[in-house]
Structure 1
Amino acid sequence: MNILFIERLTVMAYIGIYDWEKKYLQKLIFDLQLSYNTAVFLGETSIVSYLDYTHVSQTILDLVSKKHFYLIEDVANLIVNTLVKKFCVCWISVKVSKPGAIRDASNVGIYIERKVNIS
């Protein structure tokens, strides 16, 4: 299995349920791993035949920077569902961190892992 990973992709986003959170950009950090069916690409030499980390990163930046989210769970689910559909990945893990969200903790977040049956 080949796994493409992206670590510590940082995005400033409007996220939170409290009124003050809706007014200020907050840092979200993404750690992702994506696996794809490499058999599809055997013998291919074109760059469009591979999972491109710049396209994956840009997709996340575009999705997260365009709207307000109430929960990091909402962000994580949107990212997972979009990447699975757009890039035909067969396995994905996404960790979304919101550092500084709790005064006495350095970080909080959510981790989602999904295996996708692609026919």
Structure 2
Amino acid sequence: MDILFVRELKVDTRIGIYDWERQVKQTVLIDLEIAADTHAAAQSDKVEQTINYQTVCQRLVSHISASEVELVETLAEQIADIIRGEFAARWVQVTVHKPAAVRGTRDVGVRIERGKD
């Protein structure tokens, strides 16, 4: 199994359970690991034969920046659904980091896996 990855995709969105969090956009960081068979792309040297990182990132930025969820868990699930549904990934690991959400921490968040590895 081959793994495509994205580290620290930064997106501003409205996320949180408290009223003050709903008033301002906050930055979330997204890490992705996506299972894909990259053999055909490696042989052809054509991006059309693989999952395009740029397309994935553009789609996620569009979705996340427009979303208004309360929980990082909800956002992670939405991201996994997009990647599996729209990009035909059989497995994905999504980590959503919410920097400085809890005093005394660098960040908090959630990591989920969906699909067959």
TM-score, normalised on structure 1? Answer: 0.88
Instruction: Please say which of residues 30-39 and 60-69 is displaced more in the overlay.
Output: 30-39
Q: 1:34 matched to which residue of 2?
A: 34
User: Any gaps of 5 or more consecutive residues in structure 1?
Assistant: none
Q: 1:92 matched to which residue of 2?
A: 92
Fraction of identical pairs, as percent: 32
The alignment status of 1:80 with 2:80, answered yes or no, reads yes
State the SS of the aligned residue for 2:63.
helix
Q: Which has the higher strand share?
A: 2
The letter for the 1-side match of 2:108 is: V
State the SS of the aligned residue for 1:34.
strand
Q: Deviations over 1:22-79 (max 9, x none)?
A: 1101110011000123467686554322110001101110110112111111100000
The letter for the 1-side match of 2:109 is: G
Instruction: Please say which of residues 35-44 and 108-117 is displaced more in the overlay.
Output: 35-44
Q: Deviations over 1:65-112 (max 9, x none)?
A: 112111111100000011100111111101000010001211100000
Contact 2:37–2:50 under 8 Å retained in 1: no
The alignment status of 1:19 with 2:19, answered yes or no, reads yes
- CA distance in 2 between counterparts of 1:18 and 1:24 reads 11
- CA distance in 1 between counterparts of 2:101 and 2:34 reads 27
User: Any gaps of 5 or more consecutive residues in structure 2?
Assistant: none
The letter for the 2-side match of 1:37 is: D
C-alpha distance 42-105 of structure 1, shift in aligned 2 (>3 A): closer
RMSD (Å), alpha carbons? 1.8
- CA distance in 2 between counterparts of 1:75 and 1:112 reads 11
